[in-house]
Structure 1
Amino acid sequence: MKLPEISILVLIICVSSYSFGQGVEENWIKPRIINTTDLGADPDDEQSMVRQLVCSNEFDIEGLIVSTGCWKKTQENTNILDKIVEAYGEVYSNLSIHAEGYPKPDYLKSISVMGQSGYGMSDVGTGKDSPGSELIIASVDRDDPRPVWVMGWGGMNNVAQAIWKVRETRSSEELAKFLSRLRLFDILGQDDSGAWIAKNFPDVFYIRATGVYGWLPLKNSDYYREQIQEKGPLGAVYPDTKYAPEGDTPAFMHIYPNGLNDPEKIDQGGWGGRFSYNKVEGIRSMSEVAKIDEYSESKFDPYYMYGNTEEGIQAIKRWSNGYNNDFVARLDWSITNNYQDANHHPTAVMNGDKTRNVLYKTVTEGSTITLNAAGSSDPDGDSLYYKWIFYKAPSSYKGALTIKNSTSLKADLEIPSDAEGKSIHIVLEVYDDGEPNLYAYRRLILNIQSNK
């Protein structure tokens, strides 16, 4: 299969340039992403795909792979995916007026492929290569310093087949290099291949998210009908919810480059949730997997994966205004060819830094530091509002903290006298007064040292 060329980063610092429509240019790294989805099993995959495409300028999407899972054990074609990509093609010109970087429809069609047609590890091995597994190998092999995030909205046997082939055809050193460039994120576990990967390749970066429901408005409410489904071709292919809406969306929201978190630092927390560095033994897939085969995963025990922290779904919901309004605004973009007729994201600047990077600073206990959002701006000329937040959950310091003028452009933070050796996470929210109001974020991690 001939795969399309995908542009790569050529700067040693691995930074690409991007602008929000007519806004202020920023520097940030676009994540590389491949989505595997068991479309047709539950309409929530279609919902997540609509959101993924409407914000696709934020990512380098390198594959859209139709996969299987415990709720859809066979696949035959890409028809559902093609329909959504066709809808994207109808609104591409509008989206491109509002932000740079949207992939061309023909490119998305070229990376929309079939993966494994059968279920789980039964479809991994000799003679089991698929366009999806081959696409994963080609993407990881590409000369690009950025890791490849492979998201499992269904089962993970496409990446399992890719890993199996590399293991069988390359040296141990080449296999280790291949695995080091993978970032795996599966939703709930939907076949036995994830357990196989985690057992046989314990060093692979593997998140299994289980806190994926309950972060959105109530299903089939007015929010969906009025703010999403009635807005043009993409809204029209966003189906009603059967069980729970958009259960797969947290996979790509974890790496959404909005300034809130570094996805490599999984304990920071962002739009996709927060995860613990303490790997968990035997995070089981959805109950249907054991119904198919009682020992499908237990036969790989012990296996270990990264899982959600104790915050659970609250790690996502705390940012609900930001991600809900982001989706609404982007669908607004899809139905207007006039930049002035929609709202656009502000740019958040922290202490003079205009990137979206997480910032780090060493300070002394008992001192006072100034937090400064000067230089933040809005491309539409809207008024801006500021909120400085002590995000206690990922901070190792768990005591009380005082931020003076916490809703002002500048704020003062008193470093507690008992914080030596601890970390403090401060999040800046900048939001405008447009319709809907849109958010930008920055994070500062303070490492506290003694004042002696």
Structure 2
Amino acid sequence: MLRIKIKYLLIFLIVFSITVSCKSIVEEKEQNSTSEVSYIKPRIINTTDLGADPDDKQSMVRQLVSANEFDIEGLIVATGCWRKTQSSTEMLDTLVNAYEAVYPNLKVHAEGYPTPEYLRSISVMGQDEYGMGDVGTGKDSPGSELIIKAVDKDDPRPVWVMGWGGMNTVAQAIWKVRETRSSAELEKFLTKLRLFDILGQGDSGAWIAKNFPDVFYIRATGVYGWQPPKNGDYQRSDIQSHGPLGAVYPDTKYATEGDTPAFMHIYPNGLNDPEQIDQGGWGGRFSFIKKEGIRSMSCVEKENETKYDPYYMYGNTSEGSEAIKRWSEAYNNDFAARMDWSITNDYSDANHHPLPVLNGDQTRQVMKIKAAPGSTVALSAAGSSDPDGNTISYSWSFYDEPSSYDGPVKIQNSSSHSATVEIPEDAGNKSIHVILEVHDDGEPNLYAYRRVIISVN
């Protein structure tokens, strides 16, 4: 009898041990899985004057292959000074159809790609006439209603509304809320909006900035000069030759992908916090000192905006498009790799982004550290990995422009996974921005980032 009891006790202990081990493995997998996607997806709504210039189609292709990185809540066909009327979503539908053809491949390479059916459900018409002439009573559109509905969601994240053409669809949304809700409700609505306007292509942006001066409004003018050569080998070989989405990426007529910086600014790659517009990232760098009268493109008659003077917006810093171009190899390779994803359902046939770790932190958030003048700060990328097993290279650099400290900063072992930042003696009450850049040796090389902001006491 004793032998039987001992036998069953041993069996119990073995089963218990296996159960605990399996639970530990499952928990570890869940923890690792969570860490790989541990970032806040930006909410984004695009308004685009498709058909005015081929560059809107180009930018849309890049955004569609990057769609897993965002919560896209609206694709709105609207107008601008180069295309003052719109009649349908036909051009947008063609792009979504191309996305549908490659969607089975894309989702093999990354989680989070929206279904084609979902994208169709948010592909709507905005204002179909130009400027403030199409804002007011009886001017509601499916696009303006979609914007209101998105902002009203019980979701604490702000809504980034991008103007690839004019901004009168969001102007109509704001107009309606002002007319139908209390002042407190209007203020609540406005605080969730983040507006990003490419070049100004209508008078509605000035109307918004004038009448709602506290609204978060960026007008980007430094959107030329960061692109690869016009209709060059990169465009031909790495993008247009790649399947259904490549086939709908048109040749450049004027400038390549002029609207891409809008969503690149909020690209969650670990490089910047888009709310902190002076940090700098793939979409450029902007000043928190609002500028007066940032004028629209030449197609907008000056008197249409001057009647709203003075109005103030956030604008590019003095670096202009150079603030984008400094990251050119990374964002070009990112697009090329994603186009590779679109034409193969074999994960091993394409390259994938490395996963950086900063001082044990596996998120994509900006890290903030305090330090004293004359001290040293140890930084480590230990634990960084590559999903394809590629070799990883490291680079730690001082990012001068967004740093309030204006002198040189020494970084020891800047090409190692562990580095040491020497805090200058005269850096008191200043900030020092350090960028960890991790890239692999795959084809093409893919980059990932982490930013450290050191606040010196």
Q: After TM superposition, is the score higher than 0.5?
A: yes
2:154 paired with 1:143:
yes
2:402 paired with 1:419:
no
CA deviation map 1:304-341 (0-9, x unaligned): 00000011111100111110000000000000000011
Report what 2:385 is aligned to: 377
Q: Distance in 1 between the 2:79 and 2:420 partners? A: 52
Paired residues of 2:287 and 2:316 also in contact (CA < 8 A)? yes
Deviation at 1:24, TM superposition (A): 6.4
2:442 paired with 1:431:
no
Q: Name the SS for the 2:455 alignment partner.
A: strand
Residue 22 and residue 233 in structure 1: after superposition, are their counterparts in 2 closer, same or farther (change >3 A)? Answer: farther
Q: What's the TM-score once normalised by structure 2's chain length? A: 0.92
Report what 2:199 is aligned to: 188
- Aligned pairs for 1:1-80 (under 5 A) are 25-80=36-91
CA deviation map 1:176-227 (0-9, x unaligned): 0000000000000000000000000000000000000110111100110100
Q: Distance in 1 between the 2:408 and 2:178 partners? A: 51
Q: Distance in 2 between the 1:138 and 1:24 partners? A: 31
Report what 2:449 is aligned to: 441
Q: Name the SS for the 1:117 alignment partner.
A: coil
CA deviation map 1:338-386 (0-9, x unaligned): 0011000001111111000000011000011211100110000000000
The residue type equivalent to 2:170 in the other structure is V
CA deviation map 1:215-252 (0-9, x unaligned): 01111001101000000000110000000100000000
- Aligned pairs for 1:297-446 (under 5 A) are 297-446=305-454
Report what 1:99 is aligned to: 110
Q: Alignment RMSD, CA only?
A: 1.3
Q: Distance in 1 between the 2:101 and 2:82 partners? A: 31
Q: Distance in 1 between the 2:266 and 2:415 partners? A: 27
Q: Distance in 2 between the 1:217 and 1:22 partners? A: 35
Structure 2: tracts of 5 or more residues without a match: 1-28
The residue type equivalent to 1:425 in the other structure is H
Deviation at 1:22, TM superposition (A): 8.9
The residue type equivalent to 1:193 in the other structure is S
Report what 2:238 is aligned to: 227
Q: Name the SS for the 1:137 alignment partner.
A: helix
Paired residues of 1:97 and 1:338 also in contact (CA < 8 A)? yes
Q: Number of residue pairs matched? A: 428
Q: Distance in 2 between the 1:309 and 1:71 partners? A: 26
Report what 2:268 is aligned to: 257
Percentage of pairs with the same residue: 73
Q: Distance in 2 between the 1:324 and 1:383 partners? A: 20
Deviation at 1:400, TM superposition (A): 1.1
Please point out which of 118, 123, 126 is paired with 2:129: 118
Q: Name the SS for the 1:425 alignment partner.
A: strand
CA deviation map 1:145-201 (0-9, x unaligned): 100000000000000000000000000000000000000000000000000000000
Please point out which of 275, 278, 281 is paired with 1:267: 278
Q: Distance in 1 between the 2:140 and 2:438 partners? A: 47
Report what 2:100 is aligned to: 89
Q: Distance in 1 between the 2:146 and 2:364 partners? A: 30
Q: Where is the helix percentage greater, Structure 1 or Structure 2?
A: 2
Report what 2:287 is aligned to: 276
Q: Distance in 2 between the 1:137 and 1:369 partners? A: 46
Please point out which of 163, 174, 177 is paired with 1:163: 174
- Aligned pairs for 1:165-180 (under 5 A) are 165-180=176-191
Q: What's the TM-score once normalised by structure 1's chain length? A: 0.93
The residue type equivalent to 2:375 in the other structure is S
